[in-house]
Structure 1
């Protein structure tokens, strides 16, 4: 950081993000760059690694100290590997790097290099983050759903996978089932990644061509996964059937599917889609979506839906609420009860932004949650890093 970059940095669409010689000015600047899945030209990468090899050879021939030689770095490590090595990386930075890796994999599709190895790394490091930092991970990824500058498809996949990881232990799934479930969540929309991003930003209804893509994407995703070397039968089956229903009214084949892993994947997929704002509609309120899952399709309490709500809450971290005090805030932690989260108040009862976020425990009736709010109703920029730092 604060050192000039040695090459031009581009995004996956060929837009120049950082010119050779410019510097990354802050951790926030670095995080924004990572969200755009930064890449360098193959020729630049080869030149840099040739330079690294030449420098290493020269240092050895000059008999320089081993600690200086060890400090010479090649530029071949992936962002996820860097995150794993760097003990000081923050939760938002870790998710930004995993998002960048996954966005690149999903957009590259059949041409992705070392797809299986890299997606397994995203799954492994992501599950560790969910295990160690569940509330902060929800805060980061739910907030990221509201950012139209980054790949919606990658955010959707990471959050859906995380929700599956949170609920799976309560549902009694073993390690093998959980792993296949999380990997399916990360890749279920592989067959329509670009269209997924476009539809999230599209102001009008889907065209007939887009509806065809949606209907066929489970099979397209399976075909790509097989082409990329995926052999896990349960992973493949979950992706193939993630839009099928118990009564046979789903798609693409109209199969009757009612396994716990299938239902949990579908719940996570539907939940993330519903709380995500679209150009064509606002986000549905998290409380409303949670209640729908809890009641199930037959308007009677659903056991798996109840576990989902118990794990996530009615108001997940990252979502917005109005308190009984009249304050508006963002949820930062789940509470002991599904309807009693910890909230950072951002806007006072007079409608003016607070100088600093104020933590409220909504188990206290004074600060009880009065309502969920769509993201557009809170006109304050949320600094996720500061909220996490405040605990």
Structure 2
């Protein structure tokens, strides 16, 4: 990335870290490779980048190529790739990569190959096509290598566990609704900045209304001022939500019993559940724990339950189900909130996690409920997505750490 002086930045900007870590825990190798290939190309101001993973057992190469000039990303899977046995690590990797896509068809620029260490049996690396020669010792490249290693370790570790718990067939993939991370990040930045600017005039309006009310005796004018103040307070509350979405408090996670915290959330929503006459069942083993900021976790679960209650007919059903995922030494939880409501329209599928998206006729996606859920889940290193059920209703899938990530790394 070029600095104001025209030279390449030494360090990787924080925006790239936020952009990529919002994808953790990774559930799709292709999506991670696509995101990484774009970031490598953009950050290094290269003509193109080609990042790929080769599985020696299946002889399958999964790769992604991003070209800067047309600004396009291509992901592909190539089978029956022959693994080279002679030559250096770089030469073997280049031989494998060229079988997937010929370098001459990607770019005319010279390229450098950067290996990404992997604990699995895969060969992972990046070919960066650029007129500028960048060595692995430069901070930008070493940071990109380290970041890529951490992201790919997530998806390569979780791949076997996820394939057993979540169907990966094409039909299921088409039913899933994943948040547009880049769009939500842009909205969060806007909300944080604009919220501060809007808050100042709103505070002035509220203050002036309070001052005028003190000396006003005319009933009609008092009612008018009260209405103005009430609407100003409403704007203030919406701005507060926007600012919390843009710059939420840093989570202070600790270990909690999942079933106990879920029961506490249900107790707080008892009136809403009773009023809706819905049936709610919890299928969570006593042994399941969750690594989370307790307050923020309860906000997520409350919003997902309320989201379902808003659309259910009398006698509707909600199930909360927890399963444990184990990948190596890491433990995560796969949490599902399932309802038998009307499902999602095409418009709702597209905007489900957008702030202020209103689908009042269905009751989904109002205000900051689901976007706030996405924000909190991402900050905890988890992921959230929605899936339209085959029979009826919607399932929200959450992947959430079941233990302190630092402790699992030290096991």
**Greater helix fraction, Structure 1 or Structure 2:** 1
Which structure is higher in strand share?
2
- Which one has a bigger Cα radius of gyration? 2
> Under TM normalisation by the shorter chain, which class is it?
under 0.3
TM-score by length of 1: 0.28
